[in-house]
Amino acid sequence: MESQNLTGISEFLLLGLSEDPELQPLLFGLFLSLYLVTILGNLLIILAVGSDPHLHTPMYFFLSSLSLADTGFSSTTVPKMLVNIQTHSKSISHAGCLTQVSFFFLFGCLDSLLLAVMAYDLFVAICHPLHYLAIMRPRLCGLLIVVSFVISLSDSLTHCLMVSQLGFCTHVEIPHFFCDVPQLIRLACSDTSSSNIVIFLIGTISGLLPISGIIFSYYRIVSSILRVPSAGGKSKAFSTCGSHLAVVCLFYGAGLGVYLTSAASSSPGRDAVASVAYAVVTPMLNPFIYSLRNRDLKGVLWRIVPTAA
């Protein structure tokens, strides 16, 4: 078969979650609803944090940053899928595919790093409460966000550059609803051994870095909480970590589930369905987890929603 560079291919074909014509209206309605809830929920979090001075603290600053990253993460894949279903088209241009790869890893890596930053914020708040304001100064908070963004941007550019160097055969059909890098590597006609090594190294570094930070932070947090003499104090401290821990478990649990599904199954279609968990569902649930477990945030949201209505 004829092999050519990505820049020589006019378009790819995204096969989506199902090729059954009867399921397309159902998929469109379902994913449109999920996307709208995701955008509305995360934008409400950002609006609540920005509008109430009582929420101008490091914890809510990081939370609004996470909501912004979740909005971008979901917007990278779902709108194109909805457009393709509505127009009965499966095509995506080579530039659009590279754009999806870039933003997918940018916001995905940023999500992961922000969760690690939020774990560090909780560690300082619980283990060093008297020095919290002195440590978590606005300058440090801004620096943590900037560093997280720079690392995520480097991860994104590396993946984009790697994909742009792959050689593909004509009429490339991707059995996914977005340009998934592992699927692109499987479909490449050129030697992909170096690409697999790069993906493994990048995934190991970008994955272990935040996970190690989260585990270390919670190790110190739990050790500190166990030294609290009163049961009420322990309960309050654990409650403070509840929302973040739930989001961490959801994010990494969904990602691990996709990895295990992909490793255990040779069906690309199952990989695409499993990817919905972390690419669509997780960004939608994060605002609900934080708002339902946080009285201050819930109170501000209840004041905003009637005003907007």
Query: Rounded distance, CA 74 to CA 53, Å?
Result: 28
Residue given tokens 């963004």 in the structure block:
149
Domain hosting 79: range is 3-308
Q: Is 270 left (phi over 0), alpha (psi -120 to 50) or beta?
A: alpha
Q: Where are the alpha helices (DSSP H) in the chain?
A: 24-51, 58-87, 94-127, 132-135, 138-164, 181-187, 193-226, 231-264, 268-276, 282-293, 295-308
How many degrees, rounded to 5, is the angle at CA 160 between CA 158 and CA 166? Answer: 105
Query: Rounded distance, CA 260 to CA 13, Å?
Result: 26
Residue 309's pLDDT is what? 46
Tokens of 204: 């190991």
Residue 6's pLDDT is what? 43
Residue 250's pLDDT is what? 86
CA distances from 159 to 202, 249, 250 (A): 9, 25, 24
Structure confidence by residue, pLDDT tens digits, 129-154: 899 999 999 999 999 999 999 999 99
Structural domain total, the chain: 1
For position 8, which CATH number holds? 1.20.1070.10
DSSP 7: G
Residue 186's pLDDT is what? 82
Low-confidence ranges of the chain (pLDDT < 70): 1-10, 170-171, 233, 257-270, 293, 305-309
